[in-house]
Amino acid sequence: METLFIDGKWAAADDGAHFDVLDPASGEVIDRASDAGAAETRRAIAAAQGAFPQWSAETAYHRSARLLEAHRLMLDRKEALAELLSLEQGKPLKAARNEIGYAAEFLSWFAEEAKRVYGSTIPSSRAGHRFTVLRQPLGVVAGITPWNYPISMITRKVAPALAAGCTIVLKPAEQTPLCAAAVVQILADAGTLAGVVNLITTAQPGPVGEELLRSDIVRKLTFTGSTEIGKYLAARSAETMKRVSMELGGHAPMIVFDDADPAHAAKGAVLAKYLNTGQACISPNRILVQRGIYRAFCEEFTARAGRLVAGRGSTPGVSIGPLVDGAALDKVAAQVQDAVSKGARLLSGGSRLEEGQLAKGWFYAPTVLADVDESMLIHREETFGPVAAIMPFDDEAEAVAKANATEYGLASYVYTNDLGRATRVSEALRFGIVGINDINPTAAAAPFGGIGVSGLGREGGADGIDEYLDVKLIGQVVGPA
Ligand code: NAP
């Protein structure tokens, strides 16, 4: 399949190169994607540059209408997109449908925000003088996205960029180029001008990234992915002084106080932990449970985790899919082995799933570890797999200190029925997002992002479009009449 989209046309790589796209549930090849290099990337940047004057000069109402049309098309194609997403990335169909709904929300939200890019006037201290502030599209954007939410992570970037009047060169993860191509087809069918959205699929992130980084034309890099790569890209972006948005890794704590119902909290914790097979940046990585309900919570959590059904995402009744690849499987297995060797109690799982068809894919059993402590890898490394790490605490101060003992700062969660405690703890947590008795504190309408090594900037909400706008101050001498 030709998966490069440059200046409004689908194309193959210049040398015809391609790479295999694998089904993570079976390891089989489902298709091939075009493997672009530096030359195709330069053409995509040039196309985005060429389209920028016209796209940015269109009325906000025109851009808004294109995004609303893309929203309509995405929902029209929801079932086919969900099947593709489930096949290419592995998540169960129900979760895939949820992701498409979430992805479409960004298109409609930013279609509306396009019409609300206001400026302002500032009173001057000088007579006969005016200050006006304009917010203008910053130009060509490069967007680099991960495989775990391969459709919504794209609309979360493309929608605000297009709404603001910017044009974009998109480089999706190499595991999920087909989902990216399907989203770009929707944007093209919605009537966006040629060159406004360009897609570079590649198995060579280095040379493609290099072109995007060293280009003076690219004025902004928006990245979602690991902290390690994010730090590199942010540092390199400084060479051309690009704006950056960095949505990076997380190590979310979930604090369960003993005034909460342990069964209700365990239900929420299981849903949040095993969502997307634990491959989510906001997945709870440390579950801190107050000693009074520690045992009851662990029992309920383990019972619920044991009821999860692993398998191919399209199989009815499956609630947990495969990991994305063999490297992910190895990382999870190493964390479990390390924790058990240092004294963690394995309450459930702890091994690769290899019965029948599962042997062909990258399946790992939903795993529960209790009595995890600071000495273990899982306590500091992002897990990105179906392994729950549970540990006890005694009081509120200890819980907050333990929760904050990480360089990451993306999501955090609190279960409590004490209003004062909910307020105190949510204010004390050093994270960009806090869910109070809430395992899904996200929406297109709300700002999403982290602090610390979890990143810079916010996506979604009213803040999301600011990331694509430059602020211009106009001082004007009006003089006496
Ligand atoms: P990754 O390895 O950092 O890759 C992310 C993207 O960066 C991929 O498209 C990758 O391309 C590309 N990339 C790698 N090296 C590059 C280079 N030198 N130049 C340009 N691009 C380069 O992350 P991942 O494993 O795909 O995703 C998982 C991570 O994303 C986790 O840490 C997770 O927490 C984070 N995440 C964060 C959020 C958030 O909003 N904060 C949301 C979802 C995921 P290739 O695929 O070709 O390697």
Note whether residue 345 is domain-resident. yes
**117, 185: one domain:** yes
Give me the pLDDT at residue 481, please: 77
Looking at the CA of residue 156, tell me the nearest atom of ligand 1: 40
Looking at the CA of residue 448, tell me the nearest atom of ligand 1: 40
**271, 189: one domain:** no
CA of 295 to the centre of ligand 1 (A): 37
Tell me the pairing of strands 120-122 and 367-370: unpaired
CA of 127 to the centre of ligand 1 (A): 53
Note whether residue 270 is domain-resident. yes
The best mutation among 208, 212, 229 to test binding of ligand 1, ranked by most ligand atoms within 8 Å of the C-beta, falls on: 229
Distance (Å, whole) CA 364 – CA 203: 26
Looking at the CA of residue 206, tell me the nearest atom of ligand 1: 18
CA of 129 to the centre of ligand 1 (A): 48
Note whether residue 220 is domain-resident. yes
**291, 233: one domain:** no
**92, 145: one domain:** yes
3-state helix, strand, coil in the chain (%, to 5): 45, 20, 35
Atom 39 (ligand 1): residue with closest C-alpha?
247
Atom 5 (ligand 1): residue with closest C-alpha?
225
**100, 228: one domain:** yes
Number of domains in the chain: 2
Cα 127 from chain centre:
49
The best mutation among 41, 45, 144, 431 to test binding of ligand 1, ranked by most ligand atoms within 8 Å of the C-beta, falls on: 144
Cα 451 from chain centre:
15
Give residues (CB < 6 A) around ligand 1: 144-149, 153, 171-174, 205-206, 209, 224-226, 229, 247-250, 281, 382, 410, 450, 455
Q: Helix H segments across 351-463?
A: 396-404, 419-428
Which domain range does residue 128 map to?
4-248+454-474
The best mutation among 155, 218, 222, 226 to test binding of ligand 1, ranked by most ligand atoms within 8 Å of the C-beta, falls on: 226
CA of 226 to the centre of ligand 1 (A): 5
Hey, which residues does 55 pair with through a beta bridge?
none
Per-residue pLDDT of the chain (481 residues; tens, 9 = 90+): 899 999 999 999 999 999 999 999 999 999 999 999 999 999 999 999 999 999 999 999 999 999 999 999 999 999 999 999 999 999 999 999 999 999 999 999 999 999 999 999 999 999 999 999 999 999 999 999 999 999 999 999 999 999 999 999 999 999 999 999 999 999 999 999 999 999 999 999 999 999 999 999 999 999 999 999 999 999 999 999 999 999 999 999 999 999 999 999 999 999 999 999 999 999 999 999 999 999 999 999 999 999 999 999 999 999 999 999 999 999 999 999 999 999 999 999 999 999 999 999 999 999 999 999 999 999 999 999 999 999 999 999 999 999 999 999 999 999 999 999 999 999 999 999 999 999 999 999 999 999 999 999 999 999 999 999 999 999 999 988 7
Q: Which helix (H) or strand (E) holds 248?
A: none
**195, 275: one domain:** no
Give me the pLDDT at residue 480, please: 84
Q: What is the CATH number of the domain that holds 208?
A: 3.40.605.10
CA of 244 to the centre of ligand 1 (A): 15
Hey, which residues does 254 pair with through a beta bridge?
287, 413
**466, 438: one domain:** no
Note whether residue 447 is domain-resident. no
**274, 387: one domain:** yes
Note whether residue 53 is domain-resident. yes
Note whether residue 400 is domain-resident. yes
What is the full DSSP assignment across 75-102? HHTHHHHHHHHHHHH---HHHHHHHHHH
**231, 321: one domain:** no
Note whether residue 375 is domain-resident. yes
Tell me the pairing of strands 4-6 and 9-11: antiparallel
CA of 224 to the centre of ligand 1 (A): 6
Yes or no: say if 210 and 232 are a contact pair by the CB < 8 Å rule.
no
The best mutation among 169, 175, 212, 281 to test binding of ligand 1, ranked by most ligand atoms within 8 Å of the C-beta, falls on: 281
Give me the pLDDT at residue 434, please: 98
CA of 204 to the centre of ligand 1 (A): 13
Q: Which two tokens stand for residue 185?
A: 């087809």
C-alpha triplet 86, 89, 95: angle, nearest 5°? 45
Looking at the CA of residue 146, tell me the nearest atom of ligand 1: 26
C-alpha triplet 326, 85, 17: angle, nearest 5°? 65
Note whether residue 481 is domain-resident. no
**67, 123: one domain:** yes
Return the exposure string of 133-144: e unless at least 16 CB atoms fall within 10 Å of the residue's CB, then b.
eebbbbbbbbbb
Which positions are annotated as active-site residues? 247, 281
**206, 271: one domain:** no
**331, 417: one domain:** yes
Atom 20 (ligand 1): residue with closest C-alpha?
209
What is the full DSSP assignment across 13-53? -TT--EEEEE-TTT--EEEEEE---HHHHHHHHHHHHHHHH
Q: Which two tokens stand for residue 58?
A: 């269109």
Determine whether 419 is exposed, middle or buried from the number of CB atoms within 10 Å of its CB (0-12, 13-18, 19+): exposed
Atom 26 (ligand 1): residue with closest C-alpha?
146
CA of 325 to the centre of ligand 1 (A): 14
Cα dihedral across residues 406, 146, 224, 233: positive or negative = positive
Number of other residues whose CB lies within 10 A of the CB of residue 292: 14
Q: What is the CATH number of the domain that holds 421?
A: 3.40.309.10
Looking at the CA of residue 204, tell me the nearest atom of ligand 1: 47
